[in-house]
C-alpha cells in the first residue's frame, strides 16, 4: 500500500497540522483575554512588543506556509518521489516551523532578519526542494 511507504511523511504532516492548531489556540486564547476583543479582528496593538500580536502573526504565517507545503507533500506522494526524501524534507519543514513558532513567541523584535527568519527560510527551502523533486519526477 502506498501509504505504508509514506508513513513517516504522514506523521510529519500531522505534526505540521497539529502545530497550526496549537498556534490557533494560543492566538485565540491570548486575544480573547484582551479587553474588548472582537473575534476575527486583528489585534489592536500591531507591534512585535505585544505577545497577542506575535501569537496572531505566528499563526497567520503558518497558515500562509501550510497550503504550499501540504500541496507539495500530496504531489510528492502521488508522483512517487522517494519516500525517504519526502519524509525528510517534510520533517525539516515541520521542525523549522516549530522553531519559528518558539522564536516568534519569545523574541519581541522588529529587526529583519530576526532569528525566526532563518527558520522560515529553512522551511521554505525544504518546500522548494521537495517541489523541485516533484517537477523532476513528473517531467
- Class of the CATH-defined domain 2-33+45-138: mainly alpha
Q: Count other Cβ atoms within 10 Å, centred on residue 40.
A: 5
**Closest by alpha carbon to 72, among 3, 125, 1, 139?**
125
pLDDT band at 3 (very low <50, low <70, confident <90, very high): confident
Q: Quick one: pLDDT at residue 37?
A: 72
| Residues 13-72 pLDDT 10s | 999 999 999 999 999 998 887 777 777 777 766 788 889 899 999 999 999 999 999 999
89 with 29: CB under 8 angstroms? no
What integer pLDDT is reported at residue 1 of this predicted model? 62
pTM of the model: 0.92
In the chain, where the domains are located: 2-33+45-138
Amino acid at each position: 500500500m502506498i501509504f505504508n511507504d509514506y508513513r513517516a511523511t504522514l506523521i510529519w504532516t500531522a505534526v505540521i497540522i497539529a502545530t497550526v492548531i496549537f498556534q490557533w489556540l494560543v492566538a485565540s486564547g491570548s486575544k480573547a483575554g484582551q479587553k474588548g476583543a472582537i473575534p476575527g479582528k486583528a489585534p489592536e496593538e500591531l507591534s512585535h512588543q505585544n505577545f497577542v500580536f506575535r501569537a496572531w502573526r505566528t499563526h497567520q504565517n503558518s497558515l500562509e506556509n501550510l497550503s504550499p507545503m501540504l500541496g507539495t507533500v500530496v504531489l510528492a506522494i502521488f508522483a512517487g518521489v522517494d519516500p525517504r526524501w519526502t519524509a525528510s524534507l517534510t520533517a525539516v519543514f515541520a521542525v523549522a516551523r516549530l522553531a519559528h513558532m518558539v522564536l516568534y513567541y519569545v523574541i519581541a523584535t522588529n529587526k529583519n532578519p530576526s532569528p525566526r527568519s532563518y527558520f522560515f527560510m529553512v522551511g521554505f527551502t525544504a518546500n522548494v526542494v521537495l517541489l523541485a523533486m516533484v517537477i523532476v519526477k513528473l517531467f
